Amino acid sequence: MTGLVQSDSRRDGRVLVSFSRKMAEGFRSERVLFDKIEGLVRFRGNYSATAFRDGYRDGEHALPGQELVILDFDGGYTIAEAMVDFEPFVGAIATTRNHMKEKHGVVAERFRVLLPVNRPVMLDVEGFKLMMTEVMRSYPQADPACKNIDRMYYGFPDAEVLFLEGMRLFAWEPFYREALIRRAEEERERQRWRAREAVPGGG
112-138 pLDDT tens trace: 999 999 999 999 999 999 999 999 999
**Residue 125: CA count within 13 A, CB half-sphere:** 9
Give residue 5's pLDDT band: very low, low, confident or very high (50, 70, 90): low
- Contact in structure between 5 and 122 (CB atoms under 8 Å): yes
92-95: strand order across its sheet: 66-73, 111-121, 92-95, 161-163
**In the predicted model, what is the mean pLDDT of the chain?**
93
Q: Which residues contact 151 (CB under 8 A, 6 or more apart)?
A: 48, 49, 50, 70
**pTM recorded for the entire structure:** 0.89
Looking at the chain, the whole-number percentage of residues with pLDDT higher than 70 is 94
What is d(CA 203, CA 201) in angstroms, rounded to the nearest whole number?
6
- pLDDT of residue 4 exceeding 90, the answer is no
